[in-house]
């Protein structure tokens, strides 16, 4: 629901390129968010709240950086010469 509203406003306000960029960014972010939620769900137990959130945050950061690197356009696709 959130992505539909955001993309609609981005497209109306700034055009197609802005909407596509927003969707690409959201896809990359969803990988890290899902890992954060799964890790937190698996690690939550009484008395371990801080360590569960710290581990979930660390895992999400690693996955987000990996997803960002994998989804980044290659130099050839971006139009630069190698």
- pLDDT tens digits for 14-72? 989 999 888 888 888 888 999 999 999 999 888 789 999 999 999 999 998 898 888 77
pLDDT of residue 26: 87
Q: What is the pTM of this model?
A: 0.70
- Residue ranges of E strands in 1-82: none
pLDDT score for 79: 59
- For the cut 70, the answer to whether the pLDDT of residue 81 exceeds it is no
Report the length, in residues, of the chain: 82
Q: What is the pLDDT of residue 78?
A: 56
36 CB-contact burial (10 Å; exposed 0-12 / middle 13-18 / buried 19+): buried
Output the pLDDT for position 52: 93
Contact 82, 75 (CB under 8 A): yes
């Amino acid at each position: 629901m959130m992505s539909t509203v955001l993309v609609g406003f981005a497209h109306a306000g700034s055009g197609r390129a802005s909407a596509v960029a927003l969707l690409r960014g959201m896809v990359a972010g969803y990988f890290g968010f899902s890992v954060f939620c799964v890790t937190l769900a698996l690690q939550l137990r009484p008395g371990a709240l801080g360590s569960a959130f710290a581990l979930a945050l660390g895992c999400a950061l690693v996955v987000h950086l990996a997803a960002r690197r994998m989804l980044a356009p290659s130099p050839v696709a971006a139009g630069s010469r190698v």
